[in-house]
Amino acid sequence: MNKEKFLFVRFRWLYIAAVVIIFLVGAGIRLYDLKDIPLDFHPTRQLHSALIARGMYYENLESVPDWQRETAVRQWKAEGLIEPPIMERLAAFGYQLAGDDLLWIPRLYAIVFWLLGGFALLLLTKELTDENGAVAALLFYLVNPYAAIASRAFQPDPLMVTLILYALWAIIRWQRAGGWKWAVLAGVFGGLAIFVKSVAVFPILFAFAAVVISTVGFKSLLRSPQIWLIAVLAVLPYAIYHIYGVYINGEMQSQFSLRFFPQLWKDPGFWLRWHGMINQVVGLEFFLAAILGIFLLKRKSDRTLLIALFAGYFVYGMALSYHISTHDYYQLPLFPVVAIGLAAVVSVIFESLQGKPWLVSAGALLVLSYFMVINAWDVRVTLKRSDYRNEEQFWIKIGELFTPEDSIIGITQDYGYRMAYWGWRTPTHWMTSADFAVRELAGQEFDMEAVFYEQIEGKTRFLVTQLSELDRQPKVKALLNDHFLLISESPDYLIYDLTQPQN
């Protein structure tokens, strides 16, 4: 007996309409408040990229004063390599076209990249499940409140997630259809994802291994030229960049310090924080439902793929245990995994619904519509509530309190990046209490007074704009108040003169 078809499987026009509406809503909530400055999501990380992009743009800009061009380039060069500066180069190119360093341009890039990932997810989940599952996965991916905010960020992560999705789609097409075309596309997309941000190696490696082994088996693994091609294309871009950054240029050598903390594995707090991050980013209920989705996929090879993706995520979290439990955006590679699992769950649920097709379809459509509207409204409220435009003027005024000759060290927001970007003064950052805690976790020890005098040597001013952070470092606060003159203060900042110590 044939099962009754419902909703998007039954009505092709409804499927197309739903996809169009979801993309429009997904784009709309991201474009809302587009021109607000990028302090809404991990501003330290975004301003790191903003400084690099501005330096690239100003390098050959003749319409600005020499001191400003030199400062912008110097700030760019001072930023270490983390990932290849792809987003930054694209932003600088956009600035050139616009004739101004408009920070909403890289935000627009990030939005477009995330939306493009939606097409890959739609194709992938339709291949693994059906139209109902694909629409549900797309809806989750595009209207999840956390993803809506994160996919506006001037970071490589939206592009990385999109490339992961295209790599997964291509490797599944290679499994289904075979051929050199899909082998090349899988390798290229996988290689680009890892190149954009190296943590993509975890989902790519585990997913590709699962698909390849389930397709050709262990015995034929090394005898297939297509598999060799996929592997070479996936590894080569980042391998070249890694060799350049570590052994030739040398700028990436420090990127591997303060990364690995296996001692956290035995700390219950680590697991609770990780759980909290999952709940905050994708929602615990969706995460658990996606795990159940493993057992609802019809093909054994597809179940193996989803198991591998979850395994890759787990290994990723264990390898980067500090970051996975403290940096919420490290959960972004989880979105493709959860979306696939949800597609399987929704597909099976809709297949099991009983009743008249039009009535069942209407009920299911109402549920999906409610999910879309309530989440879209949450995003709009979040963006409406946050307005950071006054921050720009504040930091411009702070910058004007100093002379070009001043050498500044400070406890300021975002490692001094706000001061550097809008104030055009580059302070040396005094570490926060959290920074000291991370280093103590790594086994480092500190004599706070000795570190203080070592850091202020040659500096003329100590700026504090994070007054609560100064309170969390009572030793530093006492050293400043007891030995240095407070020359300027307001409810928002303190400035100490370091040139004339008071005994």
pLDDT digits (tens, 9 = 90+) for 295-322: 999 999 999 999 999 999 999 999 999 9
Same domain membership, residue 184 and residue 207: yes
Burial (Cβ within 10 Å: 0-12, 13-18, ≥19) of residue 38:
buried
Q: Do the domain assignments include residue 2?
A: no
Helix axes 334-352, 131-143, angle to 10 degrees: 140
**Which pLDDT value is given to residue 6?**
75
Q: Report whether pLDDT(101) > 90.
A: yes
The answer to whether residue 1 sits within a structural domain is: no
pLDDT for the residue numbered 409: 97
Q: Is residue 309 part of a domain?
A: yes
Whether residue 112 sits in one domain with residue 96: no
Answer yes or no: do 325 and 371 share one domain. Answer: yes
Q: Is 416 in the same domain as 341? A: no
Residue 255, pLDDT score:
62
Nearest to 49 by CA among 153, 149, 122: 153
For the stretch 36-90, pLDDT in tens is: 999 999 999 999 999 999 999 999 999 999 999 999 999 999 998 889 999 999 9
* Within a domain: 163: yes
Final residue in a domain of this structure, among 54, 69, 102: 102
Examine the domain organization and report whether 366 and 406 are in the same domain.
Answer: no
Say if residues 150 and 101 touch (Cβ distance below 8 Å): no
Percent of the chain predicted with pLDDT > 70: 97
Q: How many domains does the chain have?
A: 3
First to last CA, the chain: 92
Q: What is the mean pLDDT of residues 418-444?
A: 89
Contacts of 425 (CB under 8 A, 6+ apart): 399, 402, 406, 408, 419
For residue 61, being part of any structural domain is answered with yes
Tokens for 13, please give them.
């026009």
Q: Which two tokens stand for residue 74?
A: 């110097």
Query: Last residue of a domain, which of 102, 117, 137?
Result: 102
Q: Does the pLDDT of residue 247 top 90, yes or no?
A: no
- pLDDT tens-digit series, residues 368-390: 999 999 999 999 999 999 899 89
Buried-state track 218-242, b at ≥16 Cβ within 10 A, e below 16: eeeeeeeebbeebbebbbebbeebe
The domain in which residue 404 lies consists of: 390-497
Measure the CA–CA gap between 106 and 111, rounded to whole angstroms: 9
pLDDT at 256: 58
What's the Rg (C-alpha) of the chain?
Answer: 25
Residue 429 pairs in a beta bridge with 410
Which carries the bigger pLDDT value, residue 1 or residue 155? 155
